[in-house]
């Protein structure tokens, strides 16, 4: 869904936009469901990947926002990413940015 579509859905109806926040380097949209006073932080990337039918139950408290427990093997063993500190999450993001292209080496060295 686009941000315009999201803001059309929440604008002045049952939701209130509280602003933007950066949490562990990830931008979040902060929304309040006015009937329940539930405040939810939605990662910007999730908005782009989800449609309103998926997001609405999370924002209204009808479904848990955590759908999948991520695990990774950064330190030589598998561990839950929910237990990682900020620097370990940064290390994982840095690994995803890597330039792994093969470079030519000159034979006349």
Do 52 and 24 lie in one domain? The reply is yes
Domain presence at residue 79? yes
Helix (H) or strand (E) holding 42: strand 38-43
Distance CA 63, CA 49 (A): 17
| Structure confidence at residue 108 (pLDDT) | 64
Please indicate, yes or no, whether residues 2 and 40 belong to a single structural domain of this protein: yes
- Same domain for 53 and 4: yes
The dihedral region occupied by 33, where left means phi > 0, alpha psi between -120 and 50, and beta the remainder, is beta
* Position 57 in a domain: yes
Provide the mean pLDDT of the chain. 76
The whole-number pLDDT of residue 71 equals 60
By three-state DSSP, how is residue 17 classified? strand
pLDDT digits (tens, 9 = 90+) for 50-93: 888 888 888 888 887 665 455 666 666 666 666 778 887 777 77
What token pair was written down for 45? 């990337």
Strand ordering across the sheet containing 15-23: 15-23, 26-33, 38-43
Look at phi and psi of residue 41 and say left if phi exceeds 0, alpha if psi is from -120 to 50, else beta. Answer: beta
Range of the domain at 70: 66-96
């Amino acid at each position: 869904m686009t941000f315009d579509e999201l803001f059309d859905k929440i604008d002045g109806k049952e939701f209130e936009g509280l602003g933007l926040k950066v949490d562990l380097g990830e931008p979040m949209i902060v929304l309040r469901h006015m009937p329940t006073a539930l405040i939810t932080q939605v990662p910007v990337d999730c908005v782009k990947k989800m449609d309103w039918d998926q997001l609405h139950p999370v924002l209204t408290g009808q479904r848990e926002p955590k759908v999948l427990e991520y695990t990774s093997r950064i330190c030589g063993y598998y561990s839950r990413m929910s237990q990682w500190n900020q620097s370990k999450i940064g290390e994982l993001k840095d690994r995803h940015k890597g330039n792994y292209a093969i470079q030519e080496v000159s034979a006349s060295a």
